[in-house]
Chain A
Amino acid sequence: GNSVTQMEGPVTLSEEAFLTINCTYTATGYPSLFWYVQYPGEGLQLLLKATKADDKGSNKGFEATYRKETTSFHLEKGSVQVSDSAVYFCALSWVSNFGNEKLTFGTGTRLTIIP
């Protein structure tokens, strides 16, 4: 089946540190890959996406590259800010046998940035 495994949290970093949150997936076919972010008290927001192998998604200084050979979609940011503190979810999108698009999520990684 389709599944996503992401780095256990919580992760605590100092401001301006380099961030990596690992995500690997198992899927049949050619899924699309996503990172969602959840800020305190808010819903899940799409941070970035990649729809095919070697695509790089980027937004707000975050990047992730769809690596088919390693089945990975690691999230990176060169210099984190306090405002990046949130829970980050890796997810994949696939079409079921009924023709419906579905999202499968990882467990989420809580990131805290300290000044």
Chain B
Amino acid sequence: EPEVTQTPSHQVTQMGQEVILRCVPISNHLYFYWYRQILGQKVEFLVSFYNNEISEKSEIFDDQFSVERPDGSNFTLKIRSTKLEDSAMYFCATKWGQETYEQYFGPGTRLTVT
């Protein structure tokens, strides 16, 4: 069964460094999402992406964050200058169409900022 993959599974970085989290969506999916879960808290929506542009973003998704599909397959989340509070599990999700309800999630990347 097709699945969403994410790399790395765990990233440790120092405060102020840039990180790029990668996701490989299911091949025919058109809608892409990033979510995050700070330890012990809820899974929160960050951003949705369709047709090579951001369709919606949350208040969390400030200027330090960006997303892109650099090569038509990977879907990346970049954090330009990480802060301690960016430490969380980041999930990528994808779905085929607007009317379908199921988002397929990747296993997540655990980001630890020290």
Which residues of B are found within 8 Å of A108, using beta-carbon distances? 37, 42-43
How far in angstroms is the closest Cβ of chain B from A8? 10
Once A44-B105, A46-B102, A49-B101 are accepted as A-B contacts, the answer to whether A89 and B43 lie under 8 Å apart by CB is: yes
Counted as pairs of residues, one from A and one from B, with CB atoms less than 8 Å apart, the total is 58
Once A41-B107, A43-B91, A43-B108 are accepted as A-B contacts, the answer to whether A105 and B101 lie under 8 Å apart by CB is: no
Contact between chains at A98 and B55 (CB < 8 Å): yes
Within 8 A of B (CB), among A29-48: 32, 34, 36, 41-46
Which residues of A are found within 8 Å of B101, using beta-carbon distances? 32, 34, 49, 51, 93, 101
Once A49-B102, A100-B48 are accepted as A-B contacts, the answer to whether A105 and B55 lie under 8 Å apart by CB is: no
Contact between chains at A43 and B42 (CB < 8 Å): no
Say if the beta carbon of A96 comes within 8 Å of chain B.
yes
Within 8 A of B (CB), among A67-114: 89, 91, 93, 96, 98, 100-108
Number of residues on chain A facing chain B (CB within 8 A): 26
Once A32-B101, A44-B91 are accepted as A-B contacts, the answer to whether A102 and B108 lie under 8 Å apart by CB is: no
Number of residues on chain B facing chain A (CB within 8 A): 26
Closest to A4 in B: B42
Among candidates B41, B56, B105, residue contacting A45 with C-beta atoms closer than 8 Å: B105
Which residues of A are found within 8 Å of B55, using beta-carbon distances? 98, 100
**Complex Cα–Cα for A32 and B103 (A):** 13
Contact between chains at A102 and B45 (CB < 8 Å): yes
Contact between chains at A106 and B56 (CB < 8 Å): no
Say if the beta carbon of B25 comes within 8 Å of chain A.
no
Say if the beta carbon of B98 comes within 8 Å of chain A.
yes
Sample of 5 further A-B pairs with CB below 8 A, known A4-B42, A43-B105, A51-B101 = A44-B105, A91-B43, A98-B55, A103-B45, A107-B41
| Interchain residue pairs with CB less than 8 A apart (12) | A4-B42, A34-B101, A49-B101, A49-B102, A89-B43, A101-B101, A102-B48, A102-B56, A103-B33, A105-B42, A105-B44, A107-B40
